Chains A and B, each alone.
Chain A
Amino acid sequence: MEDAAFSDEFCRFLRAAVPTVDAAEVLLLLHREPERWWAAEEVLGALAPSVSLSGSAAAACLAVLLASGLIASGPDKRVQYRPGFGELDAHVRTLAQAYRERPVTLIRVIYALRDSKIQSFADAFRLKGK
């Protein structure tokens, strides 16, 4: 996987839909079994012990993924991987590939994007692009 895979569009997707490493872990777990409906506790159980998430943190991750149109919520509050459109699915596949092949870079990018809001504010006043 090359640096080009971290395109502006993919980074925009990460910033909007995968703001934390925990959210990436949850999303990739759901992505691995797209047919399955998951309860929040099952998500926590499947991620443990390598990923330690509190119930409220998992709920926050699921809320972000739901708002981004990456997962669907059932009547019993179970969730399933269901991207709203094909482009989102392509981004998630890129995310899965990055997680497999370049996890350190991916984590660095997610943290860098999280801290980039103030930089975005400063960049807004650039009349010409970088």
Chain B
Amino acid sequence: MLPLNVMLALLAALTSLMCTVLLFRAFAANGVRLLLWSALCFVCLTVNNLLLFVDLAVFPDADLRVPRLAAALTGVLFLLYGFLREAE
């Protein structure tokens, strides 16, 4: 049985991955660019959560905080850029 924090990280990664797939699917269907920026954001959030899982379960002695936060920041920047661009 996995510890609770590892399970939560894994579930968060799977949820982010599902959001990524749904957003890319919607972008392919209707071409609204806001969906593309949102999907790219969720790609980064998926990486962020996978790194959290790796940090907790695979390399518990390593500190992956910097790459994790860098992935999350990149994702938020994608989303921010998308909102600003599409609001014009």
Contacts and interface: CB of A to CB of B under 8 A. Distances in A.
Interface of A: 12, 15-16, 116-118, 120-121, 123-125, 127
Interface string B23-38: 1011100111011001
A121 B22 contact: no
Interface of B: 19, 22-23, 25-27, 30-32, 34-35, 38, 86
Contacts, number: 31
Contact of A12 (B26, B27, B30): B30
Most chain B C-beta atoms within 10 Å of own C-beta, residue among A15, A116, A117: A117
18 contacts: A15-B30, A15-B31, A15-B32, A116-B32, A117-B86, A118-B34, A120-B26, A120-B30, A120-B35, A121-B34, A121-B35, A124-B22, A124-B23, A124-B25, A124-B27, A124-B35, A124-B38, A125-B22
B19 A117 contact: no
Lowest 3 CB-CB distances: which A-B pairs, in order? A124-B26, A120-B32, A117-B34
Contact of A117 (B22, B23, B25, B32): B32
Most chain B C-beta atoms within 10 Å of own C-beta, residue among A15, A118, A123: A123
A99 to B, nearest CB: 23
Contacts of A121: 32, 34-35, 38
Contacts of A123: 26
Contacts of B32: 15, 116-117, 120-121
A120 B34 CA distance: 9
A20 to B, nearest CB: 12
B76 to A, nearest CB: 16
A118 B82 CA distance: 12
Nearest to A120: B32
